[in-house]
Every structure is written in structure tokens, then in C-alpha cells.
């Protein structure tokens, strides 16, 4: 129904602009309508994905969360380690405390878009966090590292040749909190 009304509105705006010689910012009006539509769908909880007639409102895998709340585990099984985690329009928690020193050597990538991710790290190990933020925030052990641009944050006591946790944190209109 939305797309039908959308195209009727486009037609009406074009006719008004042509016939009545009124200069209207059509592109801005249409963009505003699309943003309003997405917002209403999200507020009403009916924003989902249709795949071949099957409606998917939430997606949750071992390392992805879309429109849902998930607790991730870095270990898939005894031999497999998840290194990348994504959260889109949802909330997630990631616990990195129960891993071995070999597991930390690989580093982890965490991406959050329009959501929040909380990461629990071992308190006794220093952190190196590479931040990439676009109107989002990344907090490392209580310190905000920025809301726009790239950066590298190292906790006190970091030495490159000693065990540490390396995280690449990507936040787009979202929040990543590392404790």
C-alpha cells in the first residue's frame, strides 16, 4: 500500500509543479515520506524481510543479529572460533573472557549498525581497539573514543609482544561498549 501511495504522491506533486508553476522540493518531500514510512514500520514492529513469501522478522545466527537481541559466543565448538560479529537494528552481548591466549592472537571484528553491542573482555589483559565510527559511539572500559572517524585506542599496560585482546569496532549510528 505504501508504494502505491508513494507513486500517487509523486504524480500529484509533478502535476502541481507543472500546472500551477509552484516550485516544490520533490526529492526532499519523497525522502521524508520514505523516512516516515520506515519509522512507522519500526514503531509498529512490522519491519521485517520477505524471502520467497516467507516473512522473517528476526535473524539470529552464531555471529549475526538482525532485528533481535542475542548473546554471542566466540567459540562455535572446541575447534572453531568466531572472529566476526554483526548486529543490525538489535542488541547483542559478546563474552570474550573464557578464551585461551591463542584465541586472542587472531583478533575480533565487531560491527554494529543502528543497535548496541556490549563486549566483555578479560580484565587482566590489555586491549587494542581500532575504532571506525559514523555517527555512532565506541566506549572502551568507560572511555568514549569518538563518534566520527577512525582511531586506535590502547589501554594502559599494552605491549605488542605480550598477550592482549585486539578488537576492530565498527559503529554506524550505533553503540559499542567494551568492558
Convert the pLDDT of each residue in 1-43 to its tens digit. 666 777 777 777 778 777 888 777 777 777 777 777 766 666 5
This prediction's pTM: 0.65
Q: Which position has the higher pLDDT, 131 or 135? A: 131
**Cβ atoms < 10 Å from Cβ of 88:** 18
Q: How far is CA 147 from CA 9, 39, 45, in A?
A: 37, 23, 28
Q: Is 46 helix (H, G, I), strand (E, B) or coil?
A: coil
Residues 6+ apart with CB under 8 A from 101: 163
Instruction: Check residue 64 and give its pLDDT.
Output: 82
Ranges 44-53, 65-74, 82-91, 140-149: which has the least confidence = 44-53
d(CA 146, CA 29): 33
Pick from 100, 99, 70, 98: which is nearest to 85 by CA? 70
Condensed to tens digits (0 to 9), the pLDDT of residues 33-74 reads 777 776 666 655 555 555 566 555 556 677 788 777 888 888
Q: In the 3-class helix/strand/coil scheme, how is 85-123 assigned residue by residue?
A: EEEECCEEEEECCCCCHHHHHCCEEEEEECCEEEEECCC
Phi and psi torsions of 98, nearest 5°: -95, 25
Residue 77: which pLDDT band, with cuts at 50, 70 and 90?
Answer: low
**Cβ atoms < 10 Å from Cβ of 97:** 13
CA 145 to chain CA centroid, nearest Å: 17
Instruction: Check residue 47 and give its pLDDT.
Output: 53
Concatenated DSSP letters for 54-95?
EEES-EE-SSEEESSEEEEESBSSSS-B--EEEEESSEEEEE
Domain boundaries, the chain: 2-47, 61-178
d(CA 146, CA 144): 6
Amino acid at each position: 500500500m505504501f508504494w502505491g501511495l508513494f507513486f500517487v504522491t509523486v504524480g500529484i506533486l509533478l502535476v502541481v509543479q507543472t500546472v500551477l508553476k509552484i516550485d516544490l522540493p520533490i526529492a526532499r518531500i519523497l525522502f521524508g515520506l520514505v523516512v516516515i514510512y520506515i519509522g512507522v514500520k519500526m514503531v509498529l514492529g512490522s519491519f521485517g524481510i520477505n524471502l520467497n513469501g516467507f516473512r522473517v522478522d528476526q535473524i539470529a545466527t552464531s555471529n549475526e543479529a538482525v532485528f533481535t537481541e542475542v548473546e554471542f559466543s566466540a567459540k562455535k565448538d572446541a575447534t572453531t572460533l568466531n572472529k566476526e560479529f554483526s548486529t543490525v537494528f538489535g542488541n547483542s552481548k559478546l563474552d570474550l573472557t573464557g578464551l585461551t591466549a591463542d584465541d586472542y592472537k587472531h583478533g575480533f571484528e565487531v560491527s554494529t549498525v543502528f543497535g548496541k553491542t556490549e563486549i566483555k573482555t578479560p580484565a587482566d589483559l590489555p586491549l587494542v581497539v581500532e575504532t571506525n565510527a559514523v555517527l555512532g559511539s565506541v566506549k572502551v572500559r568507560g572511555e568514549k573514543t569518538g563518534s566520527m572517524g577512525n582511531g586506535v585506542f590502547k589501554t594502559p599496560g599494552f605491549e605488542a609482544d605480550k598477550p592482549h585482546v585486539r578488537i576492530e569496532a565498527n559503529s554506524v549510528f550505533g553503540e559499542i561498549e567494551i568492558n
